[in-house]
C-alpha cells in the first residue's frame, strides 16, 4: 500500500468520523435546546461574558459570520405579515444577525419571525431588530420631536432624557432592539446637509445633550420592555467635511479630533454605556474611517473599553475601494474594515457575498479568528444584554398601549416650545396683544409639515397656520396664502405632451440597466407615462435596488406656446438632451432639487428628448417638469394689506437640508426673500418665523423685519408651540446652539475658534449675524455676584462657581445660564472661550436665583504637546452670562 493511498484512506475515514461527530453535536444541540439540558450560554444566572464565550466556542465559522450580517426587512414579510417562504430562502438554518427596515406593524408579525429564527438555528439565537431613530422612532404614528438642531436649542438635558425615553419605549414595544442614533457630530459646517442632525457646534453642549438622550433611550436596563440600544454616529469627525460636501475628506489632525470631536463619543460610550456605533463613510486625515484601526480599535476599544458593535454606514466598506481607492477589490475592502474594527455591514454587499468572503478570508489566513470572534461576540453580547435569549418576544398588550401616548405628545410639545428662539423683537411686537384682530399667515412653510430628515414616516404635524387658528378661534380673522412655493418646481409634464420614439403612444420609452453606466442590454424596457418618480427601492422588476441606470427617449409636444423653462431633478447623476443638444449635465453629482434650462415652447412643435440618470444608493428620484404657470405674489400681498399683522413662515424642507443635500449658499432658497420683501412693503408689521435645518443668512430680514423667530424643524407639535410663543402663552427661551453667519464667506465661524483665527474681509464683517448661545426673551435678566469657592486650586482639584441671576422684566421666564472658560496661557493653542457648563433655569419676575457650577479637572484639561490629557498650571478666566458674548468675568489660578 503506497503512502499516498494510505493518506487518502485516512482522510476518507476522518471525513466520515467528522460528519458523524457533527451529526451527534447537532442532535445534542437540539436535545439541549428542547429543555432537556442547558449549555452554560443558556443559563441567565451566569455573567454575560461567560455566556458569550461559551456560545462562541460552539459555533461554526459560518454561524459566526452570519451574526455579522444585516438583512433587509423586506426579506421576511409580505403585506406586513411574516412570510415563512421568503425567510427560509434568505437565511436557511444559520439564523440571522440583524434585520433592518422591517418596522413591525403587529406583534404577531415580529413574534412569528423571531419564533422562526430561533427554532431554525441550532443554538436558538434570536434576531437583532434595528431601526432608524434620530428625533423619534421613524415608523408611522410614532411621536415626532423637533429636529436635533432644534433639540440642541433647548439646552435642557432633563428634557433630552425624556425624549430618549419616549424613543426607546416606542421602538422596543414594537419589537425593535437597536436604534441608529443619535448623531453626535459637531455641527461646524452649515453647508453640510446633515448639520440639522447635530445638536450644535459645541463639544461640551453636544456631549451633555447626547449623553442625556442616550441614557433615556437605553433606560435603567437594556432587558426592559421599554429600552433599546443607542448607536451614536457617525464615528468620527464626519460632521466637518471640506466645503460642506457630504462624504468629503475630513482634514483634521489627532489633536483637533481628540479635543473637539471625540469627547462627545467618549462620554456617550464611557458614561452613557452606549453599545453601538456607526463608522463614518468619510476619510479622516487620509484614512477611511471604515478601515481606521486607530479609530475603531486603539481609541474606541482599547482606550475607552467599548464592548458594543461597530456597523458600517451604508456603503462605507464598499467605499474603501470604490471611493477612497485604498483597497484593490471588494474582498480587500472587507478584510481591511473587519480587521480595523468593523463588526457588521450595512447593505454594502449582498448577504451571500459578504459571508462567503469572510469565510474565505479566514480560511486563507488573511483574517484572524480573533476578529471574527470580536465581531460575532459583540452581536451576541447585545442579544444577551437585551434579554433576548430569555424573552425574545414583543408583548402584544404593549404594542399600541405605550405608542404615541398623550404623555409622549406633551413631551413633544415641551420640546418644541423650548426650542423656539427669539432672534429679534423691535418695538415689542411680540407677544401679540388684544389689539390684533386680524392676522395674515403667509409663506411656503406656513401650512406644511416640516419635520426634517430621518423623521417619523407619514406624520402630519400641527402647522403654524393650524396652531394660530386653534389659538385664536373665532376671535381673530386669519387669512392665508402660500405666496410662493418653497422650491419652484414648475408642473409635471403630463402624458399627453410626451410621445415614444415611434410616436405610437403617449409617454417616454424607458430602458432600465442593472449598472450605473447604461451598459449592456436593458433588464427592463417599458413606456413611462410621466417622469414623476420617487423610488425607495427598485424601480421595476429585474432592476436592482441600487446601482442602476435609466435612459428615456421620445418627444415633447407642447399644446400651448409659452416662454419658460424645462427642468430635471434626480438625487444622483442626471443629464438631458433636447434636439440632440445637451442642456442639463449633472452627471457627476446629480441635482437635489431641480435644474432648469430656459426655452421658448411652441405649440405643436415636436422636441426630441433624451434623458439619462444613474442611481448610486438609498432611493432614487426622476422628475421632468416645466413652468407653464408663473409665481404670483399678489394674493399674499393683498391679505397682508388688510391684516393687523403678518406672520411670514419661510425656511427649508428636507428637500433642501438632509443627507446629500449640501449647499453652496446659506441664503433663502428660491423667491422667499422677494416674498417677505413684498409683504414688508405693505407697511403691515411683520413677524418672520423660520422653519429650517441649517443656519440661514437672513441679513435683510434681520435689518428690516421687526420680529424674527427661529423654530428649526419643530416636530409634530411645532405649530402649537409657535402659536404659544406668538401670543405670549410661552415665553421663548431657546438659545442658538450654532453660530449664524452673515455669509458663506465667513465660514468657518464657530464661536470657539483659536486666537489666531481672523475674519478681516474687505467686503464682510468679522462678526456673525447671530452668535452662539444667543436668544431673547419677553423678559430681561441680570447677572451679578459671580463668586469662586477658591482663587487657587491644585491640578487635581475642582472649583465651585456661583452667580446670581435676576429676572428684571415683566414676565416669568427661563434663562439659559452659560459658563465659559479661557485657559489664558497654555502649551498648545486653546480657544479664548469654551463652554464648560450650562443650566436652563425658570425664574419668576422679580425673583433672583443662585446658580452653581462645578469646574472639575475634566473641564480644565487639554491635550498637551506630548498628546497627554493634563491640567496645566496657570490662570483660568471664568465667564458667565446668557450667551457667549454678554458675560461677567472672574479668574482663578491652578498651581502645580
> Strand pairing partners for 625?
492, 567
Please, what is the angle between helix 84-91 and helix 107-119, to 10°?
40
Task: Return the residue matching grid coordinates 464661536.
Answer: 751
Q: How far apart are CA 711 and CA 758, in angstroms?
A: 30
- Res. 592 pLDDT band, cuts 50 70 90: low
What is the rounded average pLDDT of the residues 309-320? 96
Instruction: Give, in order, the Cα–Cα distances in Å from 103 to each of 76, 116, 482, 654.
Output: 11, 17, 35, 22
Report whether pLDDT(15) > 80.
no
Q: For the chain, what percentages of helix, strand and coil (3-state, to nearest 5) are there?
A: 30, 25, 45
Asked if 320 and 291 touch (Cβ cutoff 8 Å), the reply is yes
Pairing of strands 283-284, 287-288: antiparallel
Q: What percent of the chain has pLDDT over 90?
A: 88
- Mean pLDDT across 99-115: 97
User: For the residues 348-365, what does the mean pLDDT come to?
Assistant: 97
Residue 19 has pLDDT above 70, yes or no: no
Residue recorded with cell 447604461: 518
Q: Give the distance, in angstroms, between the CA of residue 461 and the centroid of all CA atoms in the same chain.
A: 19
d(CA 499, CA 553): 9
pLDDT above 80: residue 275: yes
Give the pLDDT mean for 604-609: 95
DSSP symbols for 775-821 = -B-SS-EEEEEEEES-SEEETT--EEEEEEEEE-SSS-EEEEEEEEE
Across the range 216-223, mean pLDDT stands at: 97
pLDDT over threshold 90, residue 758: no
Q: Report d(CA 743, CA 666) in Å as an integer.
A: 7
Which are the contacts of 276, defined by CB distance < 8 A and separation ≥ 6?
178, 229, 230, 231, 232, 308, 309, 310, 311, 382
pLDDT at 31: 44
Determine whether 861 is exposed, middle or buried from the number of CB atoms within 10 Å of its CB (0-12, 13-18, 19+).
middle
For residues 216-242, average pLDDT? 96
The pLDDT value recorded for residue 763 is 87
Do β-strands 548-556 and 607-615 pair in parallel, antiparallel, or remain unpaired?
Answer: antiparallel
Per-residue pLDDT for 628 more than 90?
no
Q: Are 425 and 442 in contact (CB under 8 A)?
A: no
* pLDDT of 837 over the 70 cut: yes
> For position 884, what pLDDT does the model report?
97
- What tens digit of pLDDT does each residue of 25-71 get? 444 444 444 444 689 999 999 999 999 999 999 999 999 999 999 99
Q: What integer pLDDT is reported at residue 14 of this predicted model? A: 45
Buried b (16+ CB within 10 A) or exposed e, 796-827: ebebebebebbbebeeebbbbbbbbbbbeeee
Contact (Cβ atoms closer than 8 angstroms) between residue 157 and residue 205: no
DSSP code per residue over 30-99 = HHIIIIIS--GGG-TTS-HHHHHHHHHHHS-HHHHHHHT-EEEGGGSEETTEE-HHHHHHHHTTS--SEE
Backbone phi and psi for residue 502, each to the nearest 5 degrees, phi listed first = -90, 5
The predicted structure's pLDDT at residue 616: 81
pLDDT band at 5 (very low <50, low <70, confident <90, very high): very low
CA distance 395 to 415: 29
Residue 677 near residue 207 (C-beta atoms within 8 A)? no
Per-residue 3-state assignment (H helix, E strand, C coil) for 604-654: CCCEEEEEEEEECCCCEEEEEEECCCCCCCHHHHHHHHCCCEEEEEEECCC
Per CATH, 491-626 and 781-895 having the same topology is answered no
Q: What is the DSSP string of 647-692?
A: EEEEE--TTTSSTT---S--SPPTTHHHHHHHHHTT---EEEEEE-
Q: By CB neighbour count within 10 A (0-12 exposed, 13-18 middle, 19+ buried), where does 692 fall?
A: buried
> What are the residue boundaries of the structural domains of the chain, listed by start?
1-42, 67-125, 491-626, 781-895
Element (H, E) at 554: strand 548-556
**Averaged pLDDT, 188-197:** 96
Instruction: Find out whether the peptide bond into 436 is cis, omega within 30 degrees of 0.
Output: no
Residue with the larger pLDDT of the pair 760 and 59 = 59
Using the predicted structure, report yes or no on whether residue 20 has a pLDDT greater than 50.
Answer: no
pLDDT, position 506:
96
Among 211, 203, 208, residue whose Cα is nearest residue 269: 211
As a whole number, mean pLDDT of residues 710-727 equals: 98
Which DSSP symbol is given to 744?
G
pLDDT at 535: 87
b/e sequence 62-78, b meaning 16+ C-beta within 10 Å: ebbbbbbbbbebebbbe
pLDDT digits 0-9 by tens, 838-849:
999 999 999 999
Buried b (16+ CB within 10 A) or exposed e, 346-368: bbbbebeebbebbbebbeeeebe
Q: What is the pTM of this model?
A: 0.91
pLDDT (0 to 100) of residue 37: 60
Q: How many other CB atoms are found less than 10 A from the CB of residue 561?
A: 11
User: How buried is 698 (Cβ within 10 angstroms: 0-12 exposed, 13-18 middle, 19+ buried)?
Assistant: buried
CB 769 within 8 A of CB 748: no
| Spatial separation of the C-alpha atoms in residues 256 and 359, rounded to whole Å | 38
Q: Which helix (H) or strand (E) element contains residue 382?
A: helix 369-385
- 583 close to 566: Cβ distance less than 8 angstroms: yes
Reported as a pLDDT band with limits 50, 70 and 90, residue 277 is: very high
Tell me the pLDDT tens digit for each residue of 533-567. Answer: 988 889 999 999 888 999 999 999 999 999 999 99
pLDDT higher than 60, residue 244: yes
How far from the centroid of its chain's Cα atoms is residue 426's Cα? 35
Q: Report, as an integer, the average pLDDT of 683-702.
A: 98
Question: Is the torsion defined by CA of 840, 841, 842, 848 positive or negative?
Answer: negative
**Per-residue model confidence as pLDDT tens digits over 659-686:** 988 999 999 999 999 999 999 999 999 9
User: What is the third-level CATH fold of 781-895?
Assistant: Immunoglobulin-like (2.60.40)
Per-residue model confidence (pLDDT) at position 22: 42
Decide: residue 121, CB within 10 A, 0-12 exposed, 13-18 middle, 19+ buried.
buried
Q: Rounded to a whole number, what is the largest CA-CA distance in the chain? A: 112
Query: Which 8-state DSSP code applies to residue 386?
Result: T
pLDDT at position 162 is 98
- At 490 the pLDDT is 87
pLDDT band at 23; cut points 50, 70, 90 = very low
Average pLDDT over residues 97-101: 97
Residues 206 and 253: beta-carbon distance below 8 Å: no
Look at residue 521 and tell me whether its pLDDT is greater than 50.
yes
* Statement: residue 452 has pLDDT above 50: yes
Q: Tell me: the pLDDT tens digits for 483-519?
A: 999 998 888 999 999 999 999 999 999 999 999 999 9
Pick the CATH number of 491-626 from 3.30.2290.10, 3.40.50.1110, 3.50.50.60, 2.60.120.260: 2.60.120.260
Give residues with Cβ within 8 angstroms of 632, minimum separation 6: none
**CA–CA distance, 2 with 52 (Å, rounded to integer):** 47
Compute the distance between CA of residue 829 and CA of residue 142 in angstroms, rounded to an integer. 46
Mean pLDDT, residues 612-623 taken together: 85
- The C-alpha atoms of residue 278 and residue 238 are separated, in whole angstroms, by 11
Provide DSSP, 322-373.
HTS---SSHHHHHHHHHHHT--B-SSSS-HHHHHHHHHHHHHTTSS-HHHHH
What mean pLDDT is reported for the chain? Answer: 94
Confidence of residue 18 (pLDDT cuts 50, 70, 90): very low
Cell numbers for 768: 456673525
pLDDT value at residue 572: 84
- Burial-class residue 79 by CB neighbours within 10 Å (0-12, 13-18, 19+): exposed
Confidence of residue 590 (pLDDT cuts 50, 70, 90): low
Contact 128, 383 (CB under 8 A): yes
Amino acid at each position: 500500500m503506497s503512502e499516498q493511498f494510505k493518506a487518502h484512506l485516512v482522510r476518507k475515514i476522518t471525513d466520515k468520523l467528522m460528519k458523524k461527530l457533527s451529526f451527534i453535536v447537532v442532535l445534542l444541540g437540539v436535545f439541549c435546546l428542547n429543555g432537556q439540558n442547558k449549555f452554560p450560554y443558556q443559563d441567565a444566572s451566569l455573567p454575560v461574558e461567560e455566556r458569550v464565550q461559551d456560545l462562541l466556542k460552539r459555533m461554526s465559522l459560518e454561524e459566526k459570520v452570519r451574526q455579522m450580517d444585516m438583512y433587509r426587512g423586506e426579506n421576511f414579510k409580505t403585506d406586513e405579515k411574516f412570510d415563512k417562504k421568503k425567510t427560509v430562502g434568505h437565511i436557511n438554518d444559520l439564523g440571522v444577525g440583524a434585520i433592518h427596515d422591517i418596522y413591525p406593524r403587529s406583534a404577531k408579525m415580529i413574534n412569528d419571525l423571531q419564533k422562526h429564527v430561533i427554532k431554525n438555528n441550532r443554538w436558538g439565537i434570536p434576531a437583532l431588530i434595528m431601526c432608524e431613530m434620530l428625533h423619534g422612532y421613524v415608523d408611522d404614528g410614532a411621536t415626532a420631536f423637533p429636529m436635533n438642531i432644534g433639540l440642541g436649542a433647548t439646552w435642557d438635558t432633563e428634557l433630552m432624557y425624556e425624549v430618549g425615553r419616549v424613543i426607546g419605549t416606542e421602538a422596543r414595544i414594537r419589537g425593535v432592539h437597536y436604534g441608529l442614533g443619535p448623531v453626535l457630530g459637531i455641527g461646524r459646517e452649515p453647508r453640510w446637509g446633515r448639520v440639522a442632525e447635530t445638536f450644535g457646534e459645541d463639544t461640551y453642549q453636544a456631549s451633555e445633550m447626547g449623553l442625556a438622550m442616550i441614557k433615556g433611550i437605553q433606560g435603567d436596563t437594556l432587558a426592559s420592555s421599554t429600552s433599546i440600544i443607542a448607536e451614536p454616529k457617525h464615528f468620527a469627525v464626519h460632521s466637518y467635511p471640506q466645503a460642506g460636501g457630504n462624504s468629503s475628506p475630513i482634514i483634521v489632525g489627532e489633536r483637533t479630533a481628540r479635543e473637539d470631536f471625540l469627547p462627545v463619543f467618549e462620554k456617550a460610550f464611557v458614561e452613557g454605556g452606549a453599545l453601538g456605533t456607526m463608522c463614518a463613510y468619510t476619510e479622516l486625515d487620509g484614512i477611511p474611517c471604515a478601515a481606521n484601526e486607530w479609530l475603531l480599535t486603539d481609541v474606541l476599544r482599547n482606550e475607552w473599553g467599548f464592548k458594543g458593535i461597530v456597523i458600517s454606514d451604508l456603503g462605507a466598506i464598499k467605499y474603501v475601494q470604490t471611493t477612497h481607492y485604498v483597497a484593490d477589490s471588494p474582498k480587500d475592502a472587507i478584510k481591511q474594515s473587519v480587521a480595523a474594527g468593523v463588526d457588521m455591514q450595512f447593505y454594502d454587499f449582498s448577504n451571500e457575498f459578504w459571508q462567503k468572503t469572510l469565510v474565505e478570508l479566514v480560511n486563507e489566513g488573511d483574517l484572524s479568528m480573533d476578529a471574527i470572534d470580536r465581531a460575532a461576540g459583540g452581536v451576541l453580547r447585545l442579544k444577551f444584554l437585551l434579554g433576548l435569549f430569555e424573552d425574545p418576544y414583543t408583548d402584544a398588550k404593549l404594542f399600541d398601549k405605550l405608542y404615541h401616548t398623550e404623555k409622549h405628545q406633551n413631551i413633544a410639545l415641551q420640546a418644541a416650545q423650548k426650542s423656539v428662539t427669539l432672534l429679534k423683537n423691535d418695538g415689542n411686537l411680540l407677544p401679540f396683544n388684544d389689539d390684533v384682530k386680524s392676522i395674515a399667515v403667509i409663506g411656503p412653510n406656513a401650512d406644511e409639515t416640516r419635520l426634517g430628515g430621518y423623521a417619523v414616516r407619514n406624520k402630519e404635524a400641527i402647522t403654524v397656520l393650524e396652531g394660530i387658528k386653534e389659538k385664536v378661534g373665532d376671535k381673530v380673522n386669519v387669512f392665508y396664502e402660500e405666496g410662493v412655493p418653497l422650491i419652484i418646481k414648475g408642473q409635471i409634464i403630463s402624458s399627453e405632451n410626451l410621445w415614444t420614439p415611434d410616436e405610437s403612444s403617449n409617454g417616454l420609452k424607458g430602458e432600465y440597466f442593472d449598472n450605473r453606466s447604461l451598459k449592456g442590454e436593458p433588464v427592463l424596457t417599458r413606456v413611462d407615462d410621466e417622469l414623476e418618480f420617487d423610488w425607495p427601492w427598485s424601480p421595476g422588476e429585474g432592476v436592482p435596488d441600487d446601482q442602476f441606470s435609466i435612459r428615456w427617449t421620445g418627444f415633447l409636444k407642447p399644446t400651448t406656446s409659452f416662454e419658460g423653462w424645462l427642468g430635471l431633478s434626480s438625487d444622483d447623476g442626471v443629464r438631458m438632451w433636447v434636439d440632440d443638444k445637451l442642456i442639463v449635465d449633472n452627471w457627476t453629482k446629480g441635482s437635489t432639487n431641480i435644474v432648469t434650462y430656459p426655452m421658448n415652447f411652441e405649440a405643436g412643435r415636436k422636441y426630441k428628448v433624451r434623458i439619462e440618470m444613474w442611481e448610486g444608493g438609498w432611493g432614487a428620484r426622476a422628475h421632468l417638469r416645466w413652468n407653464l404657470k408663473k409665481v404670483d405674489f399678489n394674493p399674499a400681498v393683498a391679505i397682508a394689506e388688510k391684516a393687523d399683522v403678518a406672520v411670514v413662515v419661510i425656511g427649508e424642507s428636507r428637500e433642501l437640508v438632509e443627507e446629500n443635500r449640501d449647499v453652496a449658499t446659506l441664503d433663502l432658497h428660491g423667491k422667499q426673500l422677494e416674498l417677505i420683501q413684498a409683504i414688508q412693503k405693505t407697511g403691515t408689521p411683520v413677524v418672520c418665523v423660520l422653519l429650517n435645518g441649517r443656519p440661514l443668512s437672513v441679513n435683510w430680514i434681520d435689518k428690516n423685519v421687526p420680529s424674527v423667530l427661529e423654530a428649526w424643524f419643530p416636530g409634530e407639535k411645532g405649530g402649537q408651540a409657535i402659536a404659544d410663543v406668538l401670543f405670549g402663552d410661552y415665553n421663548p427661551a431657546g438659545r442658538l446652539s450654532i453660530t449664524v453667519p452673515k455669509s458663506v464667506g465667513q465660514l468657518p465661524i464657530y464661536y470657539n475658534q483659536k486666537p489666531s483665527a481672523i475674519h478681516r474681509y474687505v467686503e464682510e464683517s468679522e462678526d456673525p449675524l447671530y452668535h452662539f448661545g444667543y436668544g431673547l426673551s419677553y423678559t430681561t435678566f441680570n447677572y451679578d455676584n459671580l463668586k469662586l469657592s477658591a482663587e487657587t486650586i491644585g491640578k487635581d482639584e475642582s472649583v465651585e462657581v456661583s452667580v446670581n441671576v435676576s429676572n428684571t422684566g415683566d414676565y416669568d421666564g427661563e434663562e439659559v445660564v452659560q459658563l465659559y472658560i479661557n485657559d489664558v496661557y497654555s502649551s498648545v493653542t486653546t480657544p479664548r472661550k469654551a463652554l464648560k457648563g450650562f443650566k436652563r433655569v425658570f425664574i419668576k419676575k422679580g425673583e433672583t436665583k443662585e446658580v452653581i457650577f462645578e469646574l472639575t479637572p475634566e473641564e480644565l484639561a487639554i491635550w498637551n504637546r506630548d498628546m497627554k490629557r493634563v491640567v496645566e498650571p496657570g490662570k483660568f478666566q471664568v465667564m458667565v452670562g446668557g450667551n457667549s458674548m454678554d458675560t461677567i468675568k472672574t479668574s482663578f489660578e491652578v498651581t502645580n
